[in-house]
Structure 1
Amino acid sequence: MFDTMTMTKILGAFCGALLVYLLGAWAAESLYHTGGGHGEGDHAKAGYVIEVETASADAVVEEGPSLEELLAVADVDKGAKVFSKCKACHKLEDGANATGPHLAGIVGRTVGGADGFGYSGALVAVADVWSPENLDGFLESPKGFAPGTKMSFAGLKKPADRANLIAYLGQN
């Protein structure tokens, strides 16, 4: 099939290509060496060390006031302003469902209790009643509270805004 001379040429071409590859890799490493690698000691570490202050084990994590404390001092007028974020999808009139269910009497109402609105199964599975605690969790992160919910609102991050809104909704 192949004579000896052809086999020798093929083997020589392969060895030559391997030699060019290895020399190229060595030259590139020499030119662009950034340190690193195994067993090269501390001088080979790339980057900088940034000192950060670590919290001691005795440090107290300061949490804000509880929901009950926030509800005790909630401002209904501020809650009405926060409700402006909800108006696009929710109405306060009883039975007036829109993109979302009506919110009349929501505080204390059964989850999924607005007649004529098709709730997602994910929402009905996480709570029985819209207590202030459940509303707070849902308003903070609807998708976090009820994964799979149809509500696309990102949530209210400020606990005071949530408490003001719950107080406002409690009056309607």
Structure 2
Amino acid sequence: MSRFGKITIIISLTALVFLSLTYFYISGLEKVYFIDDDTFNPAPKSLFINPVSSEENRIIKALNLLKSPQSFKGYSSEVPSSVVFNSVNFDNNICYIDITFDKKPGESSSYHEDRMLLSIFKTIKHFRPETEKFKLNVKGGTNSFKHISTKYYMKLKDNNISITNR
């Protein structure tokens, strides 16, 4: 075998090993999906979810990323920056989300309530798939909801939100 043939084989094997290692590393990353209707935008979890003390804190961190002004490429958030996620609690398969609306004078937000709730609920369901119902508690500020009442429990089925009793 000529010298050129040996060099070609060595380069090919090195490239194959490099591509294999890259593939296995990327496929091993855990992905978090931010959902905007049917558009899934994955981001490696290691970029923003640091070790935290509880599952609830991890969910709050992910929810705060939904309203982040430095949103990911190709992602448009329906969660206004005036929403503050205070806590997320679970009782059996019911998720209680405490929020406040931190509205500043002169600030107007145009968002779709149903899309906002869909983004929030799907993000929570990603971390805790067994969650069946959601209840929003507006703890402070001016409630910006115009069409959706927070008195009731909500269920998520496919891409639909339904109002339900306990």
- State the TM-score, normalizing by the size of structure 2: 0.22
Higher share of residues assigned helix: 1
TM-score by length of 1: 0.22
Higher relative contact order at CA 8 Å, sep ≥6: structure 1 or structure 2? 1
Give the structure with the higher percent strand: 2
Structure of greater Rg: 1
